């Protein structure tokens, strides 16, 4: 493998290069609030925020957690943290109390920034519940016994909250950091420093913090854009969450590495998507298949103009042929691409190419990305398998994560001593190198593009009084692809209703992880050696809930 075509640059340097080339190009646009920054203006915002964070005392290597929807300051934080050597820690907007507490503890986060709330979760209230010290202690002097590493909490808005720094305050502090100090900090950074941490679950244990470097995600973003023929003339509509790699790498970094405009939605709304595409003459649109279906089936679909669209990305779950045809024919996205990957791979491993036929774009996830090696192995023996033979998908290259934060054993289990990252996904590769994902070695559930790991939910449900054993599986769903189903064995004498299980989850784990179906059973199907046969539970769930 050659590194001739890889960028050995920090994200800050990549942004500065784009600003010098295309200072007057649109960078960040929000149609619903008339928010528009050129690359020059965006760079000034990033620099002011970065200097303000330095003035607050944010050091190189500190984590800065962002718990927010796709607000305008999100992308500014992505580059401001990168410029001062801090690590952006992305927090799922669906998180509830227990999930946030685990993330803050495991990641040893020093800084937390958040919005007021999202859907039915009051973020500020949740933080006060977990960190009551905020209301009594002086800012900058936080001492929270439960979160000993946490130094500061900030609010991503104008309002003031007790114990929180506000954005206007942080921006005004920027004058306290000199240009020399700022330059010195940037000069001390290395492209192989960790710049981003995202939490992903596994089949065993709890979520793991995936450590990604400038080198990892800067290059992955570049090649994702290359495969869509991006240039400074492109305008990318991004309605997918920025806390996912889909938003902050496939979206933001693919655009910034090419000088393209980012038309961002705070959250997905089909009418906002259609209005943004028409008003800003977007050339690319991103989404999971369910998002595209919501747009196509909307009663106002025919009222909008899609003639500017050309390409984009559909990812997260397989795309039905009928949907792909409509996206190409009715939305003008003749060059739409499909991506496959995982957070640990920065994230994209394979992508279809412009010119691939509709069969390739619906039955496969494309070919391996440039500068990455791909192979399929027998998960039991580790031996390479031939084309057409199912195997576990493995990759090696610039894109492989640095590891899981403070989890050396799990890191060693994911990356072998030859540097191959084992995905846990099963696939088949044809003679021409096109990969099809056939199943999941890890039993992962994909609900509407959200990855759900049964073990995390099982661990949580074990805490419910009366539960002796529980197995969580995916139940086939017409709308979401899969729904969450839980098979529960109760302790002797225990009495529980389905609602007891779902009520126990509410407010503690994300809504999309809460089991839609609960089945009480006396036993689980087992192999002769005592292993639970999850596939039989999947079959049983499909038979029990055919209208899922």
Reading across the β-sheet that carries 26-30, which strands appear in turn?
A: 35-38, 26-30, 261-264, 235-238, 284-287, 311-314, 335-341, 348-351, 367-368
Model confidence band, residue 548 (pLDDT cutoffs 50, 70, 90): low
Q: Which of 272, 306, 330 is the last residue of a domain?
A: 330
Instruction: Specify if 271 maps to a domain.
Output: yes
Whether pLDDT at 76 is above 50: yes
- Cα 391 to Cα 311, 381, 385, 426, 439, distances in angstroms: 31, 10, 6, 5, 10
- Kindly report the CATH number assigned to the domain that includes residue 135: 3.40.50.12780
Contact 31, 237 (CB under 8 A): no
pLDDT tens, 516-529? 999 999 988 875 44
- Cα 318 to Cα 339, 437, 467, distances in angstroms: 10, 9, 35
So what's the pLDDT on residue 479? 86
313 and 460 both lie in a single domain = no
So what's the pLDDT on residue 121? 96
Window from 190-204, 265-279, 304-318 with minimum mean pLDDT = 190-204
pLDDT tens, 414-472? 999 999 999 988 899 999 999 998 766 667 788 888 878 787 898 799 889 999 889 99
Instruction: Specify if 484 maps to a domain.
Output: yes
> HSE on the CB side for 420, CA within 13 Å?
17
Helix axis angle for 289-296 and 321-330, nearest 10°, is 60
How many residues belong to the chain?
548
181 and 34 both lie in a single domain = yes
Instruction: Specify if 512 maps to a domain.
Output: yes
The domain in which residue 92 lies consists of: 11-330
449 and 326 both lie in a single domain = no
pLDDT tens, 235-256? 999 999 999 999 999 999 999 9
Instruction: Specify if 85 maps to a domain.
Output: yes
Residue 508 tokens, joined: 């503690």
106 and 232 both lie in a single domain = yes
Q: Which of 310, 330, 350 is the last residue of a domain?
A: 330
Whether pLDDT at 184 is above 90: yes
Window from 52-61, 114-123, 194-203, 405-414 with minimum mean pLDDT = 194-203
- Cα 200 to Cα 206, 378, 531, distances in angstroms: 9, 24, 25
pTM score? 0.85
Stretch (H or E) spanning 113:
strand 111-114
pLDDT tens, 380-394? 789 999 999 989 999
Instruction: Specify if 372 maps to a domain.
Output: no
So what's the pLDDT on residue 529? 41
Window from 47-56, 354-363, 435-444 with minimum mean pLDDT = 435-444
Contact 198, 90 (CB under 8 A): yes
Q: Which of 307, 330, 353 is the last residue of a domain?
A: 330
59 and 201 both lie in a single domain = yes
Q: How many domains does the chain have?
A: 2
- Kindly report the CATH number assigned to the domain that includes residue 507: 3.30.300.30
49 and 173 both lie in a single domain = yes
So what's the pLDDT on residue 439? 64
So what's the pLDDT on residue 203? 38
318 and 455 both lie in a single domain = no
323 and 463 both lie in a single domain = no
Distance CA(182)–CA(62), nearest Å, equals: 16
453 and 317 both lie in a single domain = no
b/e for 147-171, b at 16 or more Cβ within 10 A?
beebbbbbbbbeeebebbbbbeebb
The pLDDT of 293-302, averaged and rounded, is 94
Contact 128, 135 (CB under 8 A): yes
Residue 131 tokens, joined: 């960190």
Rounded to the nearest integer, the mean pLDDT of the chain is 93
Whether pLDDT at 515 is above 70: yes
Instruction: Specify if 338 maps to a domain.
Output: no
So what's the pLDDT on residue 198? 96
Instruction: Specify if 409 maps to a domain.
Output: no
So what's the pLDDT on residue 202? 44
Q: Please enumerate, as own/partner, the contacts of 396-399 that have beta carbons within 8 Å and a separation of 24 or more.
A: 396/372, 396/420, 396/421, 397/1, 397/371, 397/372, 397/373, 398/3, 398/6, 398/215, 398/216, 398/219, 398/220, 398/371, 398/372, 399/216, 399/219, 399/220, 399/345, 399/346, 399/348, 399/349, 399/369, 399/372
62 and 202 both lie in a single domain = yes
148 and 273 both lie in a single domain = yes
- As a dihedral over the C-alpha atoms of residue 64, residue 514, residue 246, residue 233, rounded to 10 degrees, the angle is -110
Q: What is the percent of the chain with per-residue pLDDT over 70, rounded to a whole number?
A: 97
Instruction: Specify if 364 maps to a domain.
Output: no
Residue 99 tokens, joined: 């999930």
């Amino acid at each position: 493998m050659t590194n001739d075509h890889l960028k050995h640059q920090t994200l800050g340097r990549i942004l500065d290069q784009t600003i010098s080339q295309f200072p007057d190009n649109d960078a960040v646009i929000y149609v619903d609030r008339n928010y528009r920054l050129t690359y020059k203006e965006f760079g000034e915002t990033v620099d002011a925020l970065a200097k303000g964070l330095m003035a607050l005392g944010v050091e190189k290597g500190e984590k800065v957690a962002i718990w927010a929807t796709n607000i305008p300051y999100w992308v500014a934080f992505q580059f401001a943290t990168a410029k001062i050597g801090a690590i952006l820690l992305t927090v799922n907007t669906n998180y509830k109390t227990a999930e946030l507490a685990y993330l803050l503890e495991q990641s040893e986060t020093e800084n937390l920034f958040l919005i007021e709330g999202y859907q039915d979760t009051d973020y500020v209230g949740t933080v006060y519940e977990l960190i009551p010290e905020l209301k009594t202690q002086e800012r900058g002097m936080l001492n929270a016994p439960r979160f000993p590493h946490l130094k500061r909490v900030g609010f991503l808005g104008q309002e003031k909250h007790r114990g929180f720094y506000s954005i206007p305050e942080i921006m005004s502090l920027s004058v306290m950091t000199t240009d020399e100090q700022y330059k010195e900090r940037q000069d001390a950074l290395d492209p192989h420093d960790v710049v981003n941490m995202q939490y992903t679950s596994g089949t065993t244990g709890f979520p793991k913090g995936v450590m990604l470097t400038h080198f990892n995600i800067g290059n992955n973003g570049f090649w994702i854009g290359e495969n869509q023929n991006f240039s400074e003339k492109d305008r990318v509509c991004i309605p997918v969450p920025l806390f996912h790699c889909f938003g902050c790498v496939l979206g933001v970094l693919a655009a910034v590495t090419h000088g393209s405009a980012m038309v961002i939605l705070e959250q997905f709304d089909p009418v906002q998507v259609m209005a943004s595409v028409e008003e800003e003459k977007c050339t690319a649109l991103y989404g999971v298949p369910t998002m595209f279906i919501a747009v196509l089936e909307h009663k106002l679909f025919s009222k909008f103009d899609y003639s500017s669209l050309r390409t984009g990305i559909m990812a997260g779950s397989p795309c039905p042929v009928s949907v792909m045809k409509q996206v190409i024919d009715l939305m003008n996205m003749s060059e739409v691409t499909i991506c496959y990957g995982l957070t640990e791979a920065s994230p994209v491993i394979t992508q279809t190419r412009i010119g691939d036929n509709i069969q390739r774009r619906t039955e496969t996830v494309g070919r391996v990305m440039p500068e990455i090696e791909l192979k399929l192995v027998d998960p039991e023996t580790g031996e390479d398998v031939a084309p057409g033979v199912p195997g576990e998908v493995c990759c090696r290259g610039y894109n492989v994560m640095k590891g899981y934060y403070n989890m050396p054993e799990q890191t060693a289990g994911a990356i072998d001593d030859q540097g191959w990252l084992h995905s846990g996904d099963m696939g088949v590769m044809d003679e021409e190198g096109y990969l099809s994902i056939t199943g999941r070695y890890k039993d992962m559930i994909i609900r509407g593009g959200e990855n759900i790991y049964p073990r995390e939910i099982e661990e949580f449900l074990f805490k419910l009084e009366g539960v002796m054993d529980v197995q969580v599986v995916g139940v086939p769903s017409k709308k979401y692809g899969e729904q969450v189903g839980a098979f529960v064995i109760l302790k002797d004498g225990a009495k529980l209703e389905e609602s007891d299980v779902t009520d126990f989850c509410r407010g503690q784990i994300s809504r999309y992880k809460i089991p839609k179906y609960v089945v009480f059973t006396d036993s689980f199907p087992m192999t002769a050696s005592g292993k639970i046969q999850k596939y039989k539970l999947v079959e049983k769930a499909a038979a029990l809930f055919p209208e899922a």
